[in-house]
Each structure stands twice: as structure tokens, then as C-alpha cells.
A and B are shown apart, each in its own frame.
Chain A
Amino acid sequence: MPAPAPVDTLARIETPENVWLTFRLAGLPSRMLAYTLDLSFRAIFLVAMSVVISILSPFLSFSGLSAGVFLVLMFLLEWGYGTIFEAFWGGKTPGKHILKLRVVKTGGCAISFYDSMLRNLLRAVDVLPFFYGVGLVSVLLTRRMQRLGDLVAGTIVVREKRPRLHEARAWLRDVAPLPRPALLSGYRVPERTLALIDSFARRRSEMHSARADEVASILATPLGERLGPVGLEDQHLREPSEFLLRVLKTYTETPAVQPSQPVASPSTDGEVSGRGSW
């Protein structure tokens, strides 16, 4: 890719299968929240253990031993919590699990025990001088948002989502197809453009309706002109998002109309076209 790397929170990795994978990097807020959760789990566990130990200690008659066990637990929680969970639970601690974060190698594969130990021992430096100062600065300055421990261990923290592939086009149910005359102009909307409208439709709820119309008009204006005057009283200018949905409905759900020869996409706007450069 000769183009400069885009400024975003995605990490791209090329696999041996020659396909580029995209990872969504975890930002500071989610990582801090995960850390806070882990911290409270550790505190809860310690309190629970001290209760258990104090209940058991009269029967053991080793008051010193139970305090010793408690100290070993404290050591394990301080130094081993992250190392052990991340090494044996696919790069997740309980806090990360809840926030759907995972530690992976910068190459995208799972981390090994020593990777995990390295990034967690170096936490001792990331916490300096106070409140994770070094770590915060490092996360803010590095492109893949890595703290010092991540940099040395070659790891990144990514967000996991399990996208589902939706079958039903629920948002098209109430949309009326274009009237028949519109299809007589002879122009057939190319597959690529339909996919673009499809993406737009899925993201429409995230935008203010005025902004959605603004974005839609970039595509709706030239598309409406290509389809010609079809008795819609310039709907492509008045209600561009609605118009696009009608186009999508018509061309994907009417069997008679098959998309055909590719036509240069009229839009180059990032909002609509998504990441199409690769």
C-alpha cells in the first residue's frame, strides 16, 4: 500500500493467506475501565480470602501460616493476576472480558506466556511516577496505543465484537419501491452502488436526519439524474435518504431488475463509501 497509513483506530495486519485483517484498537477509556474492574475484583478476592482464612485459622492453629498464605496471595494478585489470566485465557483478564478487550501480538495471533509476563512486569514502570503516568503518555504517543509493556512485548489491546450477519432487511420493509416508469430509463444501478446504499442504510440511525440527507444527496443527486424524471417530483433532491432506500429496495428485491455493468461510483465521500481504498 503506497498510500500513507490513515489516521484511525484500526490496526491492519497481513496474514500468510495474503488477506488484510482489521483490528479495532482499544482506547484509553475502555482500558482504564477494564483495569478498574480488575482492581476491584482483586480487592473483592482479597477480602473474601481474608474472611475464609480468619474463619479457618482457629482450626489450623497456625495464625502465622494463614498470614503467610495471605501475603503469598497478595503477591500473586499484584504480579501474577495479569500474567496468568492473559497467558491462559486467550489474552483476557476478567475486566477485559467484560469490556470485550483482548491482548494479541501485533501480528494478530495469541500471546505466549512470556509475552504476557513481559507486558505485565513492565507495568511496574508504566505506573510511574503516579497514576500510570508513563503508560498514559506512551498510549497517547504511539499509533497503536501501546503502553511501554505493550511496546516491548509486541502486543496490542484490541476490541472484540462478534458482528452478526443479518438476514432480513428490516429497514426496507416499509419502503415503497420506485414506480415502474423509473425502471424504463434503461439505466441499471450497479452492484457496487447498491452495496454503498446498503452500508449507508445500516448507519443511518447513527446520524441526525439532516446530516443523513446531506450525506445521501452526494449519491442521490447524480443517481436521480441518471434515472431521469420518473414522476417522483424530484424526490432525490427533497428527500435524498428516502430516495436511496427506495432505489435499494427496487433493485435488490425486484427479480426482474438485475444490476449490470459497473459505473463509476459517483461518490468519493468517506462517510458513504466507507474504506474502499483497499
Chain B
Amino acid sequence: MTKARFLKERRTSWQRFEQLLLKAERARVSRFSGAEVSEFSRLFREVCYDLATVRSRDWGRDIEGYLNDLVVRGHNGFYRAPPGRPRAITRFLFSEFPRLLRSNVAYFWVALALFCIPGAIGGVVVGRNPSFAERILPAEALSQMEAMYSDSLEDGDGTGAEGLMTGFYVYNNVGIAFRCYATGILFGVGTVFFLVTNSLVIGTITGYLVAQGHSERFFSFVISHGAFELTAIVVAGAAGLLLGHSIVHPGPNTRLESLKRRGLDSVRLAAGAGAMLAVAALIEAFWSPSGVSSAMKFAVGSLLWILVISYLAFAGRDARTT
């Protein structure tokens, strides 16, 4: 067969395949009728064969490039990951994410230790001797903090300050959590740094405010959103440590291979942490600063802690058996 005859004979098939490709690229292959699906897969195999023929005979670059492009697009349409459905989001949040965390729980405990111990030490030291706080945080920040917790709380005044604070908490906290996660790839160093520094700052503020006698105001403020926020930061830290561990200790794989294997798990953990932080932002902006009595806040906050812990510990357990 000569090149000219080959072109003449095969061209109509290629054009038909191109039409199907355009359709597949606009909608998805799943929208095709049964006949179209079988036609698509038949033509796809034919075009693959044509490409091999053209290559084996060296029939020039233009036709090879053209067929290569057709096969690439066909391959893309044929082997794409199944499309995401809205149900996948709820399944992820209510079963896959907590299960994934439980199967990587060792990282969670390490992240928890990194996030608690420096803060606890800092808090105790500053609580005994508040002047140490100025070594960690600038004095203005401390006095600002103190002023904030000395004011009496009132319900929203209609200026939408809650909305502003939600936006700020989303922008700031989720950003920090994602950075804490991503820098785990630097052999875990970035994650450890973020966890320890944030822990120290939080511990220092706590110790300082307790020493200044604002403990009831402070704890009633942080207890509710803390359930989601502090846990989510530890989860993001666990995700970063998972990434870091897979590069430090790749096991039987190469470091890159190991990163690729654990990478998807780690980003799913980070996604879950992001979702928890979004919930925390809403609570922190609307509930925590509201004028409700401290006793009420402690009650609700404790319930939220129980909720978060049992969510992470139990959600999705039944799904494993079904």
C-alpha cells in the first residue's frame, strides 16, 4: 500500500473519529449512546493501528503528528478518571477522610505532640512570669490582645463584622494549614516549623492572658471553634509529616516513587483539614464572640469537642463492613 492510497482509504474514518472526539471533549463519553461508544472504541483502535503503520513505514511527520494527536485525544477521552459527583464530597467528608486519618493515625499523634508540647511549656513559663511573653511576641500585640479580651462582648451590631472575620479566618487559617502541609515535602522540616511556632505563639498568648486574669473570657471564646481549628491544624500537620516521612524513609521504593504513592493520601488529609477550618471560621466569627454567657459557651464548646473527636474516631467505620 502506498502513502497516497492509505491516506485516501483511511481519511473518512479519521474524520469521523475527529467528530466523535469533538463531541467527547464537549460533553463526556458517558453521554454517548451505546452505538457511539462502540464506534468510538472501534475507531480508536483503528487509529492506533494506523499510527503504528505510519511509523513503521516512515510516511512523514505531518501524517504521524496528525494521527498522534488523534490518538492522544482519544486516549484522554477513553482513560480519564471518572467524573466527580456531588455525592463524592459528602462521602469524602463523612467517611473517607476520617478513615484515611485513622489509617495514618501515627502521624496524627506525632503532629499532636509537636503542636502541644512547645505550647504547653511556653504557656506554663509565661503564666509564671508574664514578662517572658515579650520575648516571643511584640509588646503591642500582647496589649492589643489583652484589650480585646477586656471588652465586654455584645451581639453583632449589624455592621457585618462577623462576615469580615469569617473571610479573614478562611484566608488566614486555611492558608497557614495548607502551607504547613505543603512544606512537609522539605523532609518534614517545614511542617515541624509551622507546628512548633504556632504552638509557641498560642501557648504564650494563653499563658499571658491567664496570668492577666482573663482566663474565663479567653477560654470561653476559644473553646468552640478550637474544637475544629486546633484539630484541623494538627491534621494538616499530620498530612505534612506523612509527605515528609515518605521522602525521608521511602522504604523499598525510590524517594520519588514513595512520594507519589503517599502524595494523594496526604493531599486528601489536607483537603479535610481545609474543610474543618472553614467550619471553624464560621463558628469563630459568629458564635465565639457573641454575647452568650460563658457557661453556655463552655457547654456548647465541650459538645463540639466531643463531636469532633467522635467524628474523627468513628465516622465511616460502618462503611468498611458494608
> Residues on A close to B: CB < 8 A?
15-23, 60-72, 74-75, 78-79, 87, 90, 104, 107-115, 117-118, 121-125, 128, 148, 151-154, 161-166, 191-192, 194-196, 198-199, 202-203, 252, 258-259, 273-274, 276, 278
Contact status A118-B75, CB under 8 Å: no
Q: Is the CB of B267 within 8 A of A68?
A: no
Q: Is the CB of A165 within 8 A of B66?
A: yes
- Which residues of the other chain, B, contact A87 by a CB distance below 8 angstroms? 84
Given the complex, which residues of A lie within 8 Å of B170, measured CB to CB? Answer: 71-72, 75
Q: Is the interface of A mostly helix, strand, loop or mixed?
A: helix
Q: Which of B160, B165, B174, B243 contacts A63 (CB 8 A)?
A: B160
Instruction: Check if B20 is an interface residue, CB within 8 A of chain A.
Output: no
Say yes or no: B160 contacts A66, CB within 8 Å: yes
Interface members, chain B 173-188 (any A CB < 8 Å) = 174-175, 178-179, 181-183, 185-186
A63 near B159 (CB under 8 angstroms)? yes
List chain A residues, Cβ under 8 A from B270.
Answer: 117, 121
- What's the least CB distance linking B67 to chain A, in Å? 9
Q: Which of B45, B72, B182 contacts A17 (CB 8 A)?
A: B45
- B interface residue count range (under 10 / 10 to 19 / 20 to 34 / 35 or more): 35 or more
Q: Which of B48-56, B143-151, B299-307 contacts A (4 or more CB under 8 A)?
A: B48-56
Q: Are A166 and B62 in contact, CB atoms less than 8 angstroms apart?
A: yes
Interface status of B163 (Cβ within 8 A of chain A):
yes
Cα of A175 to Cα of B189 in the assembled complex, Å: 68
B106 touches A (CB below 8 Å):
no
Interface residues of B in 1-34 (CB under 8 A from A): 2-4, 7, 11, 14, 25
Whether the pair B159, A79 counts as a contact (CB closer than 8 A) is no
Please determine whether B57 and A191 come into contact, CB atoms closer than 8 angstroms: yes
Question: Does B87 touch A at the CB level, under 8 Å?
Answer: no
Write the nearest CB–CB distance from A32 to chain B, whole angstroms. 21
Specify which of B58, B80, B163, B185 is in contact with A110 (CB 8 Å cutoff): B80
Chain B interface secondary structure, helix, strand, loop or mixed? Answer: helix
Q: Which residues of B contact A128 (CB under 8 A)?
A: 183
Given A64-B161, A65-B164: A152 in contact with B61 (beta carbons within 8 A): no
Instruction: For the complex formed, measure the closest distance between the CB of B47 and the CB atoms of chain A, giving whole angstroms.
Output: 9
**Interface flag for B314 (CB, 8 Å):** no
Expressed in whole angstroms, the Cα–Cα distance for A205 and B145 within the complex equals: 71
Residues of chain B within 8 A (CB-CB) of A23 are 72
Residues of B within 8 A of A110 (CB): 76, 79-81
Q: Mark B268-291, 1 if CB is under 8 A from A, else 0.
A: 101100000000000001000000
A276 to B59, CA, bound (A): 10
Across the interface, do B162 and A151 meet the contact criterion of CB distance under 8 Å?
no
Closest beta carbon of chain A to B250's beta carbon, Å: 13
Q: Cβ of B204 < 8 Å from any Cβ of A?
A: no
Complex Cα distance A162/B243, Å? 38
Q: Of the candidates B2, B66, B164, B168, which one forms a contact with A259 in the assembled complex, judged by CB atoms under 8 Å apart? A: B2
Kindly state the separation between the CA atoms of A65 and B217 in the bound complex, as whole angstroms: 25
Partner of B163, one of A65, A124, A153, A164: A65
Cα-based distance from A122 to B162 in the complex (angstroms):
31
Contact of B58 with A67 in the complex, beta carbons under 8 Å: no
